[in-house]
Amino acid sequence: MANRPLAEAKCLPAALGLGGLAAVLALTEMLIRLGWVNRFIVPLPSEVFVSFERIILEENVLSRFLATAGEALAAAFLVSLTGVALGAFLHRHRLLRRACESWVAGLAAAPLVLLYPLFLVIFGRNALTIVMIGFVSGLPPAILKTVEGFAGTPKVLLDVGRSFSLSPSQLFWKIAFPSALPVIFVGVRLGLMFSLINIVGVEFLINFGGLGQLVNELAERYDLAAMYAAICFVILVSVFFFIASEKLERWLLRSA
Amino acid sequence: MTGGSAGEDGSTVEAAGGTPVLRVENIVKRFVTDSATVTAVDHVSFTVAQGEVLSIIGPSGCGKSTLFNVIGGLAEADEGRVVVEGRLMSGPDPAIGMVFQEESTFPWRTVGDNVAFALEVAGMARAERTKRVRHYLELVGLKGFEQHHPAQLSGGMRQRVAIARTLAFGPKVLLMDEPFAALDEQTRLLLGDKVLQIQQELAQTTLLITHSIAEAVQLSDRVLVMTYRPGRVKRIVDIKLPRPRTAEIIGSKDFGLYVAEIWSDLRGEASLGMKDAEAHLPQAE
Ligand SMILES: Nc1ncnc2c1ncn2[C@@H]1O[C@H](COP(=O)(O)OP(=O)(O)O)[C@@H](O)[C@H]1O
Ligand SMILES: [Mg+2]
């Protein structure tokens, strides 16, 4: 009896979300069919749905999905490691932190993707360029949130550790890091979003690689339905990373 | 009325019978700030005997937490020393277990893993650890909560987890800084009862810092009253109430007399502290 509301509460949000999405799609379909929305600007949701088959069979969307996901994974890996390490470093060195924090924040808002010619010159027209742009653009939120996470660690928790004679490295790994982890992961997730947006953006701009290039090609052919279907795969990459990051966070907390 | 051995001159105040487990000798701690040097603790000395509960009471800002940190080894004294069972302390030591005033459980660990924390870091084998954790959780009345997370418990329960975590490491002296301050009145009384029961069961040598007179009288064998700025030992009052004690003792006549006696000692200091705080208000930024 006591478990039932809990079980309901678990599926209810998901059901509401999916139901809401279906309702919006149905409404869009209706508005287009009634002629209230121009179908040359917004394709019919049913056409988008049908074109999934086409882009899977004809446009190799799955291998493009893997290419973009792979680039995003490489960027995510670099963002997490470098961002958390730099954040921890800045937290330790107050002067440096105060010197850097505001321009790192500024960098987070900069459209780094527009620097792609520079990256092309340095890394060439290949996946490395794309990964590096994803990495650089995802870095600032990861750094900032890591600093914030460590700064928010309650002093008393560290005192507990010191009272049990923990070494500095034990204090870090057993207390400061797990305590900061939830906030760090907010930063990592934000960084992942920034990375993915910029990765797809630069694929689009340099017409190279995964889903971004496909979106570019479909747009040039004015195949709007297929283009929207391709964008759905970009969203799929992001969903995939979101779930993976939550799993990783839980695993890290459990092993801390 | 009650014979307390005074120690305003700074001489060591001996524990009432029994061998002293903890000796605190002439501790001085100063804080140097931009504007002034504050002597937070000024030549404080006392001892705590095996199995004894000594409470330190004093107004806010009289140096209790500073003393707590010095005895626990988290802060260095400018003068004086702390000795446990004849061994000079230098920094944090397993012989002294600390329980803090603030929320101090690790929110990412389960209750069981919180209690196991120090044992785990010290490298104790899992089987032994589990046994100990179970024992101490039962002692603090949290049997069956091993798998819960602190967020699922009440404030009083979390503070019991913190106490179990400290006790599980087997300290010679249990050192607590206003452990009930953040709790509501009823929880505080019940938790006081629980601590008393645990202390009697383990014959745990305990140093309790508090600003509640009732709490000090309820739990202690002796109560040390501190002066306000500089923090000195004003007086030590022996509490000769029968043991084992429960919260019921709070209604008794003797209890009231002790509270009144300590309040008369404390009143002057407390009003000094209050005036001081008020005097600083206009300049407060
Ligand atoms: N880190 C510090 N720097 C400067 N002054 C301090 C510091 N810690 C405590 N003090 C001062 O020392 C005095 C005693 O503080 P504390 O030990 O926290 O008092 P209590 O715990 O009895 O309320 C206070 O006047 C406080 O302002
Ligand atoms: Mg205090």
ipTM here: 0.87
Annotate B142-188 with three-state secondary structure.
Answer: CCCCCCCCHHHCCHHHHHHHHHHHHHHCCCCEEEEECCCCCCCHHHH
Cis peptide bond upstream of B244, omega within 30: yes
DSSP reduced 3-state for B28: strand
Question: What three-state secondary structure class fits B234?
Answer: strand
Q: Would you state the pLDDT for residue B9?
A: 43
Q: What's the pLDDT score for residue B60?
A: 85
List chain B domain ranges: 1-95+173-279, 103-170
In single-letter form, the type of residue at position A152 comes to: G
C-beta of residue A253 within 8 angstroms of C-beta of residue A178: yes
Contacts of A78 (CB under 8 A, 6+ apart): A131, A135
Chain A CB within 8 Å of residue B41 CB: no
Helix axes A116-123, A177-206, angle to 10 degrees: 90
Lowest-confidence segment of A102-111, B97-106, B196-205 by average pLDDT: A102-111
Q: Estimate the share of chain A in helix, then strand, then coil, as percent rounded to the nearest 5.
A: 85, 0, 15
Nearest CA to ligand 1 atom 3: B31
Task: Give tens-digit pLDDT for A202-248.
Answer: 998 888 888 888 888 888 888 888 889 889 888 988 898 889 999 99
Alpha helices for A36-173 (secondary structure H): 45-57, 61-92, 94-109, 116-123, 127-151, 155-163, 168-170
Q: Are the beta carbons of B106 and A178 separated by less than 8 Å?
A: yes
Determine the distance separating the centroid of ligand 1 and the alpha carbon of A168, expressed in angstroms: 25
Residues with CB under 6 A from ligand 1: B 31, 33, 38, 40, 58, 60-66
Most confident of A154-163, A219-228, B13-22, B39-48: A154-163
Q: For a pocket test of ligand 1, which of B35, B66, B78 has the largest count of ligand atoms closer than 8 A to its C-beta? A: B66
* Number of neighbours of residue B85 by Cβ within 10 angstroms: 14
Interface of A with B in 149-168 (CB under 8 A): 154, 156-157, 159-160, 162-166
Residue with token string 């300049």:
B283
Residues A133-192: tens digit of each pLDDT: 999 999 999 999 999 999 999 999 999 999 999 999 999 999 999 999 999 999 999 999
Nearest CA in chain B to A255: B109
pLDDT for B243: 78
Residue A36, token pair as written in the block: 């209230």
Q: pLDDT category, B283, cuts 50, 70, 90?
A: low
Q: Which region, left, alpha or beta, applies to residue B45 given φ > 0 means left and ψ of -120 to 50 means alpha?
A: beta
**Domains defined for chain A, CATH in brackets:** 1-42 (no CATH), 44-255 (1.10.3720.10)
State the pLDDT confidence band at B33, using cuts at 50, 70 and 90: confident
On average, the pLDDT of chain B sits at 86
Q: Is A156's CB within 8 Å of B100's CB?
A: yes
d(CA A182, CA B131): 31
**Amino acid letter, residue B135:** H
Over residues A117-144, mean pLDDT: 91
B127-133 long-range contacts (CB < 8 A, ≥24 apart) are B132/B168, B133/B164, B133/B168
Mean pLDDT of B221-239: 88
Diameter over CA atoms, chain B: 59
Q: Does residue B76 sit at the A interface (CB-CB below 8 Å)? A: no
Architecture of the CATH domain B1-95+173-279: 3-Layer(aba) Sandwich (3.40)
Residue B10 is predicted with a pLDDT of: 42
Query: Which among B247, B183, B210 is positioned nearest to B54, based on CA atoms?
Result: B210
pLDDT the model gives residue B269: 77
**Per-residue pLDDT tens over the stretch B130-171:** 999 999 999 888 999 999 999 999 988 999 999 999 999 999
Q: What confidence category does residue B285 fall into, taking pLDDT thresholds of 50, 70 and 90?
A: very low
